[in-house]
Amino acid sequence: MREIVWDTETTGIMPGDGHRIVEIGAIELHGRVATGRSFHTYIDPCRMMPKDAEGVHGLTTAFLTGQPVFEAVIDDFLAFIADAPLVAHNAAFDMEFLNWELRRARMPVIPTHRMVCTLELSRKKHPGAKHTLDALCNRYGIDLSARSKHGALIDAELLARVYVELVGGRQIGFDLAPTAAAEATIVVDRAYRAPRAHAASADELARHAAFIAGLTDPVWLS
């Protein structure tokens, strides 16, 4: 199954307050194994970057000015995700921003049933634990050394590894069935054994009948 693990960076926490998406990063999985295909873009929000948001992801107004606007990149992003499920950490946040931008561009929104939220998965699997991306990476031994600040693509790459752990671990997608050659070897090396007889012998049946006859007030006759 094809899935997309994705993340956004924004100018703030509420699109209704005029905040915008400034970065999108996405990773393609097939059978929960990364294919090497990814999508990444910066976006000019056409507004100033608040200092508190800049402190989170390091993206400045000067850097983002002149980057493509949302309407210039959205077609490529929609083509990349196609109809795949969309995996994100606190997925409602990213989806709210994406759909706000789509409405602003007068484009159809993405239905929320396509969301897979790793925050919710973590809360169910590890109740009472910390559920930040950093905490989950530490829990599963995932290297965080390349992440000095939040970034949509690096966070999507880390989340893809966390997601595989949350839904079953690193062996998902591995073919554990024996190959045809291995099966042939097993057949050749294994000595033939006749099937065991599973029916009771006449002596065993007689002893069982005597045992039953000696029971007093058995429950199946009450």
- Where in the sequence numbering do the catalytic residues fall? 150
Q: Give residue 129's domain range.
A: 2-166
Could you tell me which of 141, 136, 92, 147 has the C-alpha nearest to residue 114? Answer: 92
Residue 172 has pLDDT above 60, yes or no: no
Residue 188 zone, left/alpha/beta (φ > 0; ψ -120 to 50; rest) = alpha
pLDDT score recorded for residue 198: 59
Q: 134 and 160: one domain?
A: yes
- The CA distance from 25 to 32, in Å, is 17
Q: 126 and 203: one domain?
A: no
Give how many domains the chain has, as a whole number.
Answer: 2
Q: 31 and 64: one domain?
A: yes
Question: pLDDT averaged over the chain?
Answer: 86
Torsion of CA 102, 134, 116, 74, to 10 degrees: 20
Is 175 within a domain?
A: no
CB 26 within 8 Å of CB 77: yes
pLDDT score recorded for residue 209: 78
Residue 176 has pLDDT above 70, yes or no: no
Is 220 within a domain?
A: no
Q: What is the pTM of this model?
A: 0.75
Is 171 within a domain?
A: no
